[in-house]
Amino acid sequence: MAEKRKTKIQQLYLKLLGKYGTPKDFWQKWCKERKTKQDREAIVLGAMLTQRVSWLNVEKALKNLKTEKALSIKGVYQLGKQDIGLLERLIRPSGFYKQKAKRVFGLCKFIVENHGSLEKFFRQDLEACRQQLLSLHGIGPETADSILLYAGGKPIFVIDEYTHRFAQKHGFSDKRSYSHLQELFQQGLPKDVKVYQDFHAMIVLEGRGTTWDLISKI
């Protein structure tokens, strides 16, 4: 049974890869193999701001931060220390802006004050990074794993609502726990960051009924 499930997960990955092909637009930056420091930091901030809101609104908030020269971990940290109200106004398009301002500032504060930079934070092993992220207010497994996979290049599969629905549709899960479903996907795939990134991204696209070319408009 386990071997059949593993084979089916691999087959589904190849099927979606044939359907969607190379990532474009929004997902191109998140899934590309070589990311700049700016790419990684923007992904971290985006992962924090995208909770309970469409990506289109997150893009507006990120553009506001860029205009204020604060689209970075240290930029948000310095801005939050000086004027949390301004940070709230800049990210307002992302919704729940007061709550999110505190959470994104809290993450940036933790990274700067404890590690100095995002790069040094990611030098730790996967489990150390994950436990530290989960210890911060407002960061759950889905957000932590998105940061680790897409920004940190760590081999961990992201389980979100789209993944749950995909697994149920194909008979892998009946609303099982996050960790159980994560282990299921990781056992069924090669331990490859690019495979994890592309497969999760394609599952989201499949759930939204869209294509790579339309994702930036959502």
Amino acid at 61: A
Domain limit, last residue, from 96, 122, 151: 151
One domain for residues 98 and 70: yes
Write the pLDDT tens digit of every residue in 174-185: 667 899 999 999
* 13 and 111 fall within a common domain: no
* Owning domain of residue 177: 2-29+157-217
Examine the domain organization and report whether 81 and 137 are in the same domain: yes
Q: What are the residues whose beta carbons fall under 8 Å from the beta carbon of 119, sequence distance 6 or more?
A: 37, 40
Same domain, 107 and 168: no
Residues constituting the chain: 218
Count of domains observed in the chain: 2
- What pTM was computed for the model? 0.92
Q: Are residues 73 and 128 in the same domain?
A: yes
Q: Where a domain ends, among 132, 151, 170?
A: 151
**Is the same domain home to 40 and 119?**
yes
Tell me, yes or no, whether 96 and 9 share the same domain. Answer: no
Q: What is the pLDDT of residues 142-172, one digit of tens each?
A: 999 999 999 999 999 999 999 999 999 998 8
Tell me whether residue 78 is exposed, middle or buried, using C-beta atoms within 10 angstroms of its C-beta: 0 to 12, 13 to 18, 19 or more: middle
Among 109, 128, 151, which residue terminates a domain?
A: 151
Residue 47, domain CATH: 1.10.340.30
Does the structure show a pLDDT above 70 at 1? no
Task: Give the least confident one: 81-90, 141-150, 197-206.
Answer: 197-206
Helix or strand run (H / E) with residue 163: helix 161-169
**Same domain for 112 and 133:** yes
